[in-house]
């Protein structure tokens, strides 16, 4: 057996493997003999099938399997012995006019393409100043949170038409066509919202005179203050791609109006909202809300700082990739079986960016000697649970539920691998944050929420 390599392009090699009958024939003969002892065939007792017959019937398959085994082992050994750090697995080159024939043992030549991981230097973190966003909790914010709690635990009653900002509007939104008729196949959704989210005062005044089954035409963007997230995700329950091409003109049909009788700020409300004996006064409620808001603002600020570090490292670390090989690699590993020319430039750019980030993380992990243990992995699971199911914030009363969910999610090996990667990212960001220079910028609630 002989293996040679040749350069196709920078960081892109072809490994040529030459196999002679001496490399495989003895193993193939041994495999056929073992097979003869196991197979059943009419006219022969079990284990007494002649080797010559087994060779004739199954020899080509045994040969193909043995060649595949030898190739995998030899190429893997070659890569290790030559210290080649590669992307993924070697890609077999197409072999023209190759005939697998056990009756005529011959030389076989196989080719494999490999993409080499490039060497690179990571952009220095300590030469750049990062902005760390913060938001001070004000009494107005706490008052607003208390306002939400008294409404959430209040009682609703139907009323004939809206009276003020705290009324709940039960409504249906239907996209209109150019003639002002409900568009067939257009965006449509039935939902509810507080009257206070209507920012166009003329529309709000008009709505104050609407009753059940009344409708008006609105410019949905202008009506709701161009709050894209509110409009797309809450009011219309659609996606951004569809929202980008829809008409801004909608029919707003009123299905009903409700008044909320606010709950009184007393012990009964405290127990309903936080559990028995957790809050015993308005002062302790305010302290609890302040701590919750501070925790959430700190969490959001930390996420934004991580995003800034990620972007800086991606934008300022130069890595040359074997792009021709990687496009072939993407094609070969595409679960949907797309052809190479079907991988769009944007898809390929995102793949390269992900590979780039993985290389940066791996190198930083080695340079900083970072390690992940089971507690780190479990914390990564809990962080995701809290983010996904509890809006990024969970108090002590939710700990038992979070722990049970974490136990469930850590039962699959695939999940453990994913959360190990997440825990490693957390370690990298934590260490990176300890090294960088930060400039804290305190923002108003409006600027903190709407800047990103």
The 10s digit of each residue's pLDDT in 360-407 is 999 999 999 999 999 999 989 888 888 777 766 666 667 788 888 888
Whether the Cβ atoms of residue 54 and residue 39 lie closer than 8 Å to each other = yes
Using CA atoms, how far apart are residues 379 and 422, in angstroms rounded to an integer? 10
Q: By the 8 A CB rule, do 122 and 310 touch? A: no
Euclidean distance between CA atoms 214 and 256, whole angstroms: 9
- Whole-structure pTM over 0.75, yes or no? no
Between β-strands 437-443 and 129-135, what pairing exists: parallel, antiparallel or unpaired?
parallel
Q: Output the CA–CA distances (angstroms, integers) from residue 73 to 2, 59, 310, in the order listed.
A: 13, 21, 38
Tokens of 157: 């009653």
Q: What is the pLDDT of residue 394?
A: 64
Contact 377, 423 (CB under 8 A): yes
Non-local (6+) Cβ contacts of 182 within 8 A are 174, 175, 176, 188, 251
| Contact criterion met (CB below 8 Å) for 425 and 372 | no
Give, in order, the Cα–Cα distances in Å from 174 to each of 167, 183, 194, 253: 21, 8, 18, 8
User: What are the strands, taking DSSP E only, across 176-273?
Assistant: 188-194, 215-219, 249-261
Q: Give the pLDDT of the chain (452 residues) as one tens digit per residue.
A: 899 999 999 999 999 999 999 999 999 999 989 888 888 788 787 778 888 888 888 889 999 999 999 999 999 999 999 999 999 889 998 766 788 889 888 999 999 999 999 999 999 998 999 999 999 999 999 999 999 899 889 999 999 999 988 899 999 999 999 999 999 999 999 999 999 999 999 999 999 999 999 999 999 999 999 988 889 988 999 888 888 899 999 999 999 999 989 999 999 999 999 888 889 999 999 999 999 999 889 989 999 999 999 999 999 999 999 999 998 888 887 754 445 456 788 888 999 999 999 999 999 999 999 999 999 999 898 888 887 777 666 666 677 888 888 888 888 888 888 899 999 999 999 999 999 999 999 998 888 887 64
Length of the chain as a residue count = 452
So what's the pLDDT on residue 115?
Answer: 95
Spatial neighbors of 286 by CB under 8 A, at least 6 apart, are 142, 146
pLDDT at res. 251: 96
Whole-angstrom CA distances from 113 to 17, 45, 324 are 11, 47, 11
d(Cα 25, Cα 59) in Å, to the nearest integer? Answer: 11
């Amino acid at each position: 057996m002989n293996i040679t390599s040749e350069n196709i392009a920078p960081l892109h090699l072809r490994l040529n493997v030459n196999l002679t009958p001496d490399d495989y024939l003895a193993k193939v003969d041994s495999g056929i003999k073992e097979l003869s002892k196991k197979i059943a065939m009419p006219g022969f007792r079990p284990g007494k099938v002649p080797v010559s017959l087994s060779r004739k019937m199954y020899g080509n398959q045994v040969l193909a399997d043995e060649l595949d085994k030898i190739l995998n082992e030899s190429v893997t050994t070659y890569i290790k012995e030559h210290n080649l750090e590669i992307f993924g697995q070697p890609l077999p080159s197409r072999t023209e006019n190759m005939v697998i024939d056990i009756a005529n043992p011959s030389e076989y030549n196989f080719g494999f393409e490999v993409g080499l991981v490039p060497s690179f230097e990571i952009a220095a973190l300590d030469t750049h100043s990062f902005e760390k966003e913060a938001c001070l909790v004000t009494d107005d914010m706490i008052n607003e949170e208390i306002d939400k709690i008294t409404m959430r635990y209040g009682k609703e009653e139907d009323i004939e038409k809206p009276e003020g900002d705290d009324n709940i509007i039960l409504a249906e939104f239907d996209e209109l066509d150019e003639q002002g008729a409900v568009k067939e196949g257009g965006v449509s959704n039935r939902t509810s919202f507080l009257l206070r989210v209507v920012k166009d005062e003329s529309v709000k005044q008009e709505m104050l005179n609407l009753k059940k089954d009344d409708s008006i035409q609105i410019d949905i963007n202008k009506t709701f203050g161009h709050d894209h997230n509110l409009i797309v995700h809450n009011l219309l329950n659609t996606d951004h791609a569809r929202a980008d091409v829809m008409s801004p003109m909608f029919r707003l049909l009123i299905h009903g109006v409700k008044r909320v009788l606010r709950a009184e700020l007393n012990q009964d409300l405290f127990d309903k909202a936080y559990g028995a004996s957790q809050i015993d006064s308005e002062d302790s409620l305010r302290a609890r809300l302040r701590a919750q808001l501070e925790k959430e603002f700190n969490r959001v600020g930390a996420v934004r700082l991580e995003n800034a570090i990620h972007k800086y490292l991606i934008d300022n670390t130069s890595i040359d990739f074997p792009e021709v090989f990687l496009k072939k690699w993407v094609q070969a590993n595409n679960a949907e079986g797309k052809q190479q020319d079907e991988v769009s430039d944007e898809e390929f750019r995102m793949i390269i960016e992900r590979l780039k980030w993985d290389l940066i993380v791996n190198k930083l992990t080695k340079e900083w000697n970072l390690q992940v243990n089971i507690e780190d992995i479990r914390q990564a699971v809990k962080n995701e649970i809290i983010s996904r199911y509890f809006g990024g914030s969970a108090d002590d009363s939710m700990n038992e539920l979070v722990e049970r969910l974490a136990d469930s999610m850590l039962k699959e090996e695939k999940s453990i691998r994913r959360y190990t990667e997440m825990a490693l990212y957390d370690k990298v960001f934590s260490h990176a944050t300890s090294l960088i220079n930060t400039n804290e910028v305190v923002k108003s609630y409006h600027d903190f929420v709407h800047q990103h």
